[in-house]
Amino acid sequence: MELQIWDPYRDMRQMEQAMNRMWRGMGTWPGETEQWNIPIDVVQKPEEIVVKASLPGVKPEEIEITVEDNVLTLKAESVKESESQESGYLIRERSAGTFYRALRLPDSVDTDKITPVYEHGVLTIALPKAEEKKKKQIKVHVQDTMQAIETSESKKR
């Protein structure tokens, strides 16, 4: 008989992993799609803002990008492969469903010049900044409002 040190945290981790596998296997109801956020990175550069979104397994024609009222919206759908009795899955972790993300853009972005590029499962959107409105200096003109007031004494002279 071998003596082992009991680690209650190891047992709890094993139970958590088993529960995660069980819930992952549940999936969704037939015909129902899952919706979750797209993981993104947003980088601000002097001349533009760059948004990078991870969309693995999504075809470029299934990506919808819209801008309305300075809100950038990304939508995409990843289609689940059909399952059959012969599929032989031992583990199935890749999710499929509808992706959705909305970002409020600053007023400095020129929404007419947005350029999206999709490569290797990463969508990169360049949002160029609009030329800043130049300050307009307005000069104030001063009128001479002083008028001579005639008095009875000034008329006598």
pLDDT class for 150, splitting at 50, 70, 90? low
**Whole-angstrom distance, CA of residue 106 vs CA of residue 88:** 49
**Whole-angstrom distance, CA of residue 99 vs CA of residue 57:** 12
Put simply, whether the predicted model's pTM sits higher than 0.85 gets the answer: no
Q: In terms of Cα–Cα distance, which of 122, 155, 102 is closest to 52?
A: 122
pLDDT digits (tens, 9 = 90+) for 61-91: 889 999 998 899 999 887 766 655 556 777 7
**Whole-angstrom distance, CA of residue 147 vs CA of residue 127:** 59
Name the β-bridge partners of 65: 74
How do the domains of the chain map onto residue ranges?
36-83+92-130
Taking phi over 0 as left and psi of -120 to 50 as alpha, with beta for the rest, 77 belongs to beta
Look at residue 85 in the predicted model and tell me its pLDDT.
57
pLDDT digits (tens, 9 = 90+) for 97-145: 788 888 999 888 888 899 999 998 899 999 998 876 445 678 888 877 6
pLDDT digits (tens, 9 = 90+) for 1-51: 677 787 888 888 888 888 877 776 665 554 444 456 678 999 998 889 999
**Residue range 36-83+92-130 in CATH 2.60.40.1180:** no
Amino acid at position 27, single letter: G
